[in-house]
Chains A and B, each alone.
Chain A
Amino acid sequence: MKDFAALYRALDATTSSLAKQAALQQYLRQAAPADAAWAVYFLAGGKPRQLVPTRLLRQIAREAAGLPEWLFDESYEAVGDLAETISLLLPAPDEAHDLGLAPWVEQHLLPLRQVPAETLPAVLRAQWRQLAVDERLVYFKLITGSFRVGVSRLQVTQALATVAAVDPKRIAQRLMGYTHIAGRPAAADYGRLVAPESESERDQQTSGQPYPFFLAHPLNLPVAEFEAALGPPQRWLVEWKWDGIRAQLVRRGGQAWVWSRGEELVTDRFPEVQEMAAALPEGTVLDGEIVVWRDERVQPFAELQKRIGRKTLGPKLLRELPVVLLAYDLLEEGGRDLRALPQAERRARLDALLAAARHPALIASPVLQGEHWAALATLREQARARGVEGMMLKAQDAQYGVGRTKDVGTWWKWKIDPLSVDAVLVYAQRGHGRRASLYSDYTFAVWDGPQGAAERRLVPFAKAYSGLTDAEMARVDAIIRKTTVESFGPVRSVTPTLVFELGFEGIARSTRHKSGIAVRFPRMLRWREDKPVAEADSLQTLAALLPRTDP
Chain B
Amino acid sequence: MNLVVARPEGLYCPPGDFYIDPWRPVERAVITHAHSDHARRGHRHYLAHTDSAGTLRARLGADIDLQTLPYGEAIVHHGVRLSLHPAGHVLGSAQVRLEHGGHVWVASGDYKLQDDGTCAPFEAVRCDTFITESTFGLPIYRWPAQQVLFADIDGWWRANAQAGRASVLFCYAFGKAQRILHGVDAGIGPIVVHGAVEPLNAVYRAAGVRLPPTRRVTDEGVDAALLRTALVLAPPSAQGTPWMRRFGAYADAFASGWMQLRGTRRRRGVDRGFVMSDHADWPGLLQAIGATGAERVFVTHGSVAVLVRWLTEQGLQAQGFQTEYGEEDEADAPPSQPAAAAAPADPA
Contacts and interface: CB of A to CB of B under 8 A. Distances in A.
A79 interface: yes
A71 B139 contact: yes
Contact of B313 (A68, A437, A482): A68
Given A68-B313, A78-B138, A88-B140, A12 B266 contact: yes
Contacts of B267: 434-435, 438, 470
Given A71-B306, A75-B138, A89-B140, A481 B263 contact: no
A78 B266 contact: no
A437 B333 contact: yes
A81 B262 CA distance: 9
A471 B138 contact: no
B330 A481 contact: yes
B333 A12 contact: no
Contacts of B271: 13-14
Interface in A59-80: 65, 67-68, 70-71, 74-75, 77-80
B337 A78 contact: no
Interface size class of A (residues with CB under 8 A): 35 or more
Interface in B262-293: 262-267, 269, 271-272
B261 interface: yes
Contacts of A482: 329
A435 B331 CA distance: 16
B140 A75 contact: yes
Given A68-B313, A474-B337, A81 B263 contact: yes
A195 B194 CA distance: 52
B41 interface: no
Interface in A377-394: none
B336 interface: yes
Contacts, number: 84
B118 to A, nearest CB: 26
A137 B140 CA distance: 13
Contact of A77 (B265, B313, B332, B337): B332
Interface residues of B, number: 29
Given A70-B309, A89-B140, A79 B265 contact: no
Interface in B238-282: 260-267, 269, 271-272
B169 to A, nearest CB: 15
A329 to B, nearest CB: 40
A491 to B, nearest CB: 15
Kindly name the residue among B267, B303, B337 whose own CB sees the greatest number of chain A CB atoms within 10 A. Answer: B267
A482 B336 CA distance: 15
B262 A71 contact: no
B336 A474 contact: yes
B261 A78 contact: yes
A436 interface: yes
A197 interface: no
Given A84-B261, A89-B140, A437 B334 contact: yes
B341 to A, nearest CB: 16
A75 B262 contact: no
A70 B308 CA distance: 13
Nearest to A68: B313
Contacts of B306: 71, 74
A520 B259 CA distance: 36
A71 B310 contact: yes
Contacts of A505: none
B142 interface: yes
Interface in B281-326: 303, 306, 309-310, 313
Contact of B263 (A67, A75, A80, A89): A80
Contact of A481 (B262, B333, B334): B333
A65 B263 contact: no
Interface of A: 12-15, 65, 67-68, 70-71, 74-75, 77-81, 84-85, 88-89, 137, 432-438, 470-471, 473-474, 477-478, 481-482
Given A78-B138, A81-B263, A89-B139, 16 more contacts: A12-B266, A13-B271, A14-B271, A74-B303, A74-B332, A75-B138, A88-B142, A432-B263, A435-B267, A437-B261, A437-B332, A437-B333, A438-B267, A471-B337, A473-B336, A474-B337
14 contacts: A14-B271, A71-B139, A71-B306, A78-B140, A78-B261, A79-B263, A84-B261, A88-B139, A88-B260, A437-B261, A473-B336, A474-B337, A477-B336, A481-B328
